[in-house]
C-alpha cells in the first residue's frame, strides 16, 4: 500500500525553497497494546481522576493544568494562556548550517520523516539531495509544528531525503555523568578482540535480518487464546556461567563458528481472529 503524506512544508536554504511532502518513516502502530479489564467479568475499565484532597472523581471540564514550583504549590494556567505560549506553525524548515553527517551523534536522534518533492519541487529537491550526498554533509535547521519548535537535520538516503528531529542539548545527558573507571587493556587482549570484530564484520547493516521475536511470541499467544487453546509457559533459560578469564573468553569466541545471519522472512498472511 502506498504511503500517505501526513503534511507538507517548505525546506529553504539561502534563497532556494523546496516544497516537500512529509511522510512518517516509522510505524508506531506496529506496537502490540493490551487493555485493562475487570478480572471477574472481562469488561473494559474506565479511568478516573481523583482529587487527593476531597477524594472525589473530577470531570474533565473541571480540570486545569498547573506547574509545581515548590512542594505541593502550583501555579495554574488556562487553555488560552498555554495556547498563547505555543510556537506558531510555520510550515517551513529553515536550514541554518551544513555539517558533516558524522558530526551529529545518533544519541541526539528523535523521530524521523521521509521527504518527497511536492509540486514544482522535483528539481531543487534532487539538487539538494545530490549536493548533500557528494559533500558528505547534512543540513541542520529549525522546524515549528504542533506548537513546538524542533531542531532538525536533513540528510540523504538512497535517492531521497530524510528529516530527523533532534533532541536539544538539555535533553541529552552527558556520558561524563556516569562513572567509567580507567582500566588497562593489554595488547594481546586488544588483538583478540579486534580479530573477533573482524570475524563478525559486515559492510552494511541489514535491518531485515533481525526480527522482533517477542512480538512474534505475543502474536502467536494471542491467536491461541482467540482459538480457545491453552498456552504452555516455557521455562526461563538458565543464566550462563560467569566468565572470569577474559583471554580465555576471547579465544573461545574466535573458535566458535559465527551464526549465519538470518535472511529477511517474507511477511506471512495474518490469520483473521475469530470473534
Global model pTM greater than 0.75? no
Contact 265, 211 (CB under 8 A): yes
**Is pLDDT above 80 for 111?**
yes
Contact 143, 96 (CB under 8 A): no
Domain residue limits, the chain: 7-25+88-171
Q: What average pLDDT score do residues 62-67 get?
A: 91
Element (H, E) at 139: strand 137-145
**Is pLDDT above 80 for 97?**
yes
The CATH code that applies to domain 7-25+88-171 is: 2.40.290.10
Quick: pLDDT tens for 130-162. Answer: 999 999 999 999 998 877 889 999 999 999 999
Amino acid at each position: 500500500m502506498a504511503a500517505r503524506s501526513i503534511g507538507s512544508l517548505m525546506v529553504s536554504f539561502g534563497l532556494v525553497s523546496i516544497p516537500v511532502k512529509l511522510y512518517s518513516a516509522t510505524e508506531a502502530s506496529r506496537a502490540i497494546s493490551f487493555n485493562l479489564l475487570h478480572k471477574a467479568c472481562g469488561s473494559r475499565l474506565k479511568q478516573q481522576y481523583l482529587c487527593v484532597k476531597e477524594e472525589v472523581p473530577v470531570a474533565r471540564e473541571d480540570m486545569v493544568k498547573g506547574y509545581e514550583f515548590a512542594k505541593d504549590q502550583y501555579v495554574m494556567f488556562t487553555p488560552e494562556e498555554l495556547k498563547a505560549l505555543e510556537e506558531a506553525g510555520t510550515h517551513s524548515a529553515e536550514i541554518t548550517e551544513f555539517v558533516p553527517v558524522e558530526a551529529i551523534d545518533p544519541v541526539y536522534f528523535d523521530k524521523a520523516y521521509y521527504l518527497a518533492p511536492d509540486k514544482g519541487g522535483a528539481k531543487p529537491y534532487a539538487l539538494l539531495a545530490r549536493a548533500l550526498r557528494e559533500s558528505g554533509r547534512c543540513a541542520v535547521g529549525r522546524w515549528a509544528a504542533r506548537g513546538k519548535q524542533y531542531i532538525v537535520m536533513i540528510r540523504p538516503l538512497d535517492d531521497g531525503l530524510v528529516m530527523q528531529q533532534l533532541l536539544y542539548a538539555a535533553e541529552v545527558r552527558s556520558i561524563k555523568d556516569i562513572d567509567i573507571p580507567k582500566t588497562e587493556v593489554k595488547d594481546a587482549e586488544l588483538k583478540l578482540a579486534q580479530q573477533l570484530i573482524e570475524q563478525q564484520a559486515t559492510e552494511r547493516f541489514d535491518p531485515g535480518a533481525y526480527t522482533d521475536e517477542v512480538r512474534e511470541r505475543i502474536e502467536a499467544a494471542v491467536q491461541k487464546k482467540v482459538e480457545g487453546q491453552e498456552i504452555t509457559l516455557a521455562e526461563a533459560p538458565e543464566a550462563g556461567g560467569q566468565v572470569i578469564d577474559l583471554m580465555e573468553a576471547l579465544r573461545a569466541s574466535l573458535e566458535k563458528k559465527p551464526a549465519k545471519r538470518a535472511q529477511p522472512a517474507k511477511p506471512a498472511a495474518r490469520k483473521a481472529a475469530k470473534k
